[in-house]
Structure 1
Amino acid sequence: MLAITAGYAQQQPAGQRPNVLFICIDDLRPDLGCYGSQQVHSPNLDRFAGSSMLFSKQYATVPTCGASRASILTGMLPREKADLSNEAAAMKISGKPETAEPETFIAQLKRNGYYTVGIGKISHYVDGYVYPYTAPKSDKLELPHSWNEMLFDPGKWKTGWNAFFGYADGSNRQSKKGEIKPYEAADVNDEGYPDGLTAALAVKKLRELGAKKQPFFLAVGFFKPHLPFNAPKKYWDMYDESKITLTPSPGIPENVNRASLHGSAEFNQYKLGEEKASLNAAVSDAYARKLRHAYYACISYTDAQIGKVLDALKAAGLDKNTVVVIWSDHGWHLGDDLVWGKHTIFEWALRSVLMIRTPAMKQGAVCDKVVSAVDVYPTLMSLCDVPMPHRTDGQSLAPLLRNPHARHWNEAAYSYFRNGITVRTARYRLTRYFRKAQPVIELYDHQTDPWENHNVAAQHPDIVKALMKTWEKGNTGIYDKRQQ
């Protein structure tokens, strides 16, 4: 357990606003050493945790990339079906006039004197420009009012989407029409895959930003461990596949309808995979270990790239006045509940990484309070001394940065998908689905069932009734009949 110290979020000297480094990681569940993993090699993120506030119970609002990112960037819970789409930001922000709501916290920082730079996947579109997977790059920004600069180095893959689904030989999932494996271990250096190029670009840009007489916001988005699970061989070599453990949730949870889960369609797009995933049967133990090995190798690869960026921040002396946020957009089922992928409102798909370091922090600590991704927007406004322009659905984490045991904290994180709304409290998860397939109510007691293997709603109607009052506060009307 990390040490707990006071004074996490002390104010900066007058007129000296902090810089912000915001690092996004795609599809990373909290399988890191600092989150208690005994298997994953993540030395750089673990080191960062030693000087930051690690939030052990942070939840994405939507378990899909674009919608999750739109939610954290705007501080808003989904209210329309469009808010559950990967196109959420493109539909709600791109092409709209400046100051139209919803606005990103990046736009607020830019309007208040920050020089803003994005590198890689920050919202849904992997280089920040709106265009289909197989089309040439467009000139239409997904977040047009957020950036002074939006950068990406696609290398041999030529476009952002090709790089996102890229293999070491310069090919990609689209060009191969899915006739590829869901993993690759090429004997290449870090820049043989796109995230290495992103790290190099971020290191270069940090040096430039350090010379500016203006506070900056730099966002850096890494692809891995998103599918395909491709990473340089040296990161695969860190693991003994035979010793990788399997899921504690090997089947469909008790008293749960299959409609709450899915058949791993995204994973099955990789047609040369040795086995297909389904809700009818688990993949073999050997293949499950292979896939977990691949996912862990990708984590270690991304960890190394983040280490380069953090080292560059320190080398430039910028760490002394920079707030650093490291966040992953949601979790991922690694065969848990027979699912390979995100897109559920179970703990596996919703719990993700959040660590925040302010210049005032001397040591790290762990906060076990339940928090939501929508809390990041008001937190950054507070830390950067920027007035909140309008109300969001989040609550500033500043009190928890000062004291991770703060008593007056509303522990309720809401998430939405699969025609369902779920709320995570300190002890329970209560989920209600808007569908005909029964049961539509699920209750999980994390004190006795941390892996959510047993829906105990029918056995505890009193707890369901009590928690439903909290659940109702997150019912934004998204599944109202008019939205169907």
Structure 2
Amino acid sequence: MNVRIFGLIVAAGTACFSCTTAAEISARNVLVIAIDDLNDWVGCLGGHPQVLTPNLDRLAQRGVLFTNAHVQATYCGPSRISVMSGRMPGSTGCYGFTPRYDQAETLQDHLPLHGVFAKAGFTTAGGGKILHEGLGQGWVRDLWSVTWGNANNPSPKERVHWPVKVWDWGAFPESDEQMGDFQLAQETATFLREKQERPFFAIAGFRRPHVPLHVPKKWFDLYPLESVQLPEAPENDLDDVPHPEISTRIHRQPDHREIVEKGLWKSLVQAYLASISFADHCVGEVLRGLDDGPNAADTVVILWSDHGFHLGEKQHWAKRTLWEETTRVPLIVAGPGLPSGQRCSRPVGLIDLYPTLCEMFHLPAPAALEGRSLMPLLAHADAPWDRPAVTTLEPHSHAVRSENWRFIRYADGSEELYDHTRDPNEWTNLARDAATLTEREKAAHWLPTKNLPDHSNSGDE
């Protein structure tokens, strides 16, 4: 399979580039790495000054880092369906953990991303958390030709910190080898070290840093508790939000005030940082397998997270908001013929990956796709791009993220607007400022017009 990237610039270093022709660029395989609940606390994205992610940073240097990438849904289930279907939640009716992909009436005739590659004759290999239930169920699961483990990580018999099991954290187990994520990384690396008879489409879905934040002690030791830096979270941050209960009413667990009063904030941030570094280690294991084998020179690598994560910002924890901490995620695309060490600040969505890969590998793209191919931005990071990224919380509640602005409109009509050139933390809501009317109108143009009813079960984490 040939990858054609017209007008592509190929790196001759990290700062000097020379042109090449499309005919010189080829790849036959795809490796996707999905990480659960990873926000912008990655070295190359600068989300936290102390985070250590050497493998993610090296991967970013090998390819194109999208610094303004956003999810289309605000938590695991619907976000992953959107990625794998290339469609918005409002078009599929998938706003929660149910319906599953194989049960959604709107998706019965719509192949998931790996299904397009399976139909084209690729070996499809997957393991860990890809859809919310893993590899999927029913006919969706049947499209895999090679499957690995579910990457389920162990938890201690006795909870360390929190009375709610999913929110426990602490140093456990003793070694990486006991972690399902690392076992998945090893299985994936073994696959990548082998010569495959057919082109392959492979996905490894890692579960950390999703809660419970249990990883071996050596990862906690990277971040001594006394020196952990907390995110900035002004106590009055929600004063200019029209209805704070709308923004944060879903899944208010744990409560920020309770965490602060019990003196657990630093401990939780430490556990999240430790879990990120562990996940980064798993990514490194996979990439070493690729580099050690015969497939490195003809494999495109794509890394993404299914949504971000609050750690006290806006008095909120976890996800399920329309603010930057939930929607912004790492997105890296690297491979043969792609520029290296490039940063693209255009607003893009994970929904754009499906059409991108269809174009890259000359596969027929389903007519219902709602994303846009990223190929122009992979060729030139500053290429014209007139489309914002859109995120849906529930029917008629959406965020529109352009290069410099975030606009939010909730189902009750209330709005928020943030100027990221002056307010990257989204502390000042400008929606009531008459001077911002033009920006609000421009953003409102992109609000989804299709908002199927929500019949989902939002469930637990």
TM-score, normalised via structure 2 length: 0.87
Write out per-residue CA displacement over residues 399-444 of structure 1, whole angstroms, 9 at most, x where no aligned residue. 11111011x2124010111551110111111111112xxx701111
C-alpha distance 380-409 of structure 1, shift in aligned 2 (>3 A): same
C-alpha distance 38-473 of structure 1, shift in aligned 2 (>3 A): closer
* Contact preservation (8 Å) 1:9, 1:401: no
* Separation (CA, whole Å) in 2 of partners of 1:356 and 1:8: 19
Residue 317 of structure 1: which of 291, 294, 312 is its match? 294
C-alpha distance 12-339 of structure 1, shift in aligned 2 (>3 A): farther
Q: What pairs up with 1:203-282 in 2 under 5 angstroms?
A: 203-207=189-193, 210-251=194-235, 252-256=237-241, 257-262=243-248, 265=251, 267-268=253-254, 277-278=255-256
User: Residue 331 of structure 2 aligns with which residue?
Assistant: 354
* Contact preservation (8 Å) 2:114, 2:143: yes
* Contact preservation (8 Å) 2:93, 2:452: no
Shift of 1:184: 2.1
User: Residue 456 of structure 1 aligns with which residue?
Assistant: 430
Q: What pairs up with 1:364-403 in 2 under 5 angstroms?
A: 364-403=341-380
* Separation (CA, whole Å) in 2 of partners of 1:211 and 1:481: 45
User: Residue 7 of structure 2 aligns with which residue?
Assistant: none
Shift of 1:91: 5.1
Shift of 1:82: 3.1
Q: What pairs up with 1:19-38 in 2 under 5 angstroms?
A: 19-36=29-46, 37-38=48-49
User: Residue 409 of structure 1 aligns with which residue?
Assistant: 385
* Separation (CA, whole Å) in 1 of partners of 2:391 and 2:246: 14
1:338 partnered with 2:326: no
C-alpha distance 146-187 of structure 1, shift in aligned 2 (>3 A): closer
Residue identity (%): 28
Shift of 1:242: 1.8
- SS of the aligned residue for 2:268 comes to helix
Write out per-residue CA displacement over residues 86-136 of structure 1, whole angstroms, 9 at most, x where no aligned residue. 234435559976xx12x222111111121101111111113x254xxxxxx
Q: What pairs up with 1:146-165 in 2 under 5 angstroms?
A: 146-152=143-149, 163=152
1:183 partnered with 2:169: yes
Q: What pairs up with 1:72-221 in 2 under 5 angstroms?
A: 72-79=83-90, 82-90=93-101, 92=103, 100-101=109-110, 103-126=111-134, 128-130=135-137, 140=138, 143-144=140-141, 146-152=143-149, 163=152, 166-168=154-156, 178=164, 182-186=168-172, 188-207=174-193, 210-221=194-205
C-alpha distance 232-86 of structure 1, shift in aligned 2 (>3 A): same
* Contact preservation (8 Å) 1:7, 1:360: no
Structure 1 runs not aligned, ≥5 long: 131-139, 155-162, 269-276
1:106 corresponds to which letter in structure 2? H
C-alpha distance 326-117 of structure 1, shift in aligned 2 (>3 A): same
Q: What pairs up with 1:285-304 in 2 under 5 angstroms?
A: 286-304=263-281
Shift of 1:247: 2.1
* Separation (CA, whole Å) in 2 of partners of 1:326 and 1:58: 12
* Separation (CA, whole Å) in 2 of partners of 1:9 and 1:146: 36
1:449 corresponds to which letter in structure 2? D
C-alpha distance 189-95 of structure 1, shift in aligned 2 (>3 A): farther
C-alpha distance 34-9 of structure 1, shift in aligned 2 (>3 A): farther
* Contact preservation (8 Å) 1:330, 1:352: yes
* Separation (CA, whole Å) in 2 of partners of 1:8 and 1:344: 42
C-alpha distance 7-117 of structure 1, shift in aligned 2 (>3 A): farther
TM-score, normalised via structure 1 length: 0.83
Taking only aligned residues, the RMSD between alpha carbons, in angstroms, comes to: 3.0
1:219 corresponds to which letter in structure 2? I
* Contact preservation (8 Å) 1:370, 1:425: yes
Q: How many residues in Structure 1 have an aligned counterpart in Structure 2?
A: 439
* Separation (CA, whole Å) in 2 of partners of 1:124 and 1:180: 15
Write out per-residue CA displacement over residues 9-29 of structure 1, whole angstroms, 9 at most, x where no aligned residue. 964669x65200000000000
C-alpha distance 199-71 of structure 1, shift in aligned 2 (>3 A): same
- SS of the aligned residue for 1:361 comes to coil
* Contact preservation (8 Å) 1:5, 1:365: no
Residue 3 of structure 1: which of 7, 14, 18 is its match? 14
Residue 55 of structure 2: which of 44, 60, 63 is its match? 44
- SS of the aligned residue for 2:444 comes to helix
- SS of the aligned residue for 2:141 comes to coil
Shift of 1:4: 4.8
Shift of 1:212: 2.2
User: Residue 476 of structure 1 aligns with which residue?
Assistant: 449
C-alpha distance 230-393 of structure 1, shift in aligned 2 (>3 A): same
1:35 corresponds to which letter in structure 2? L
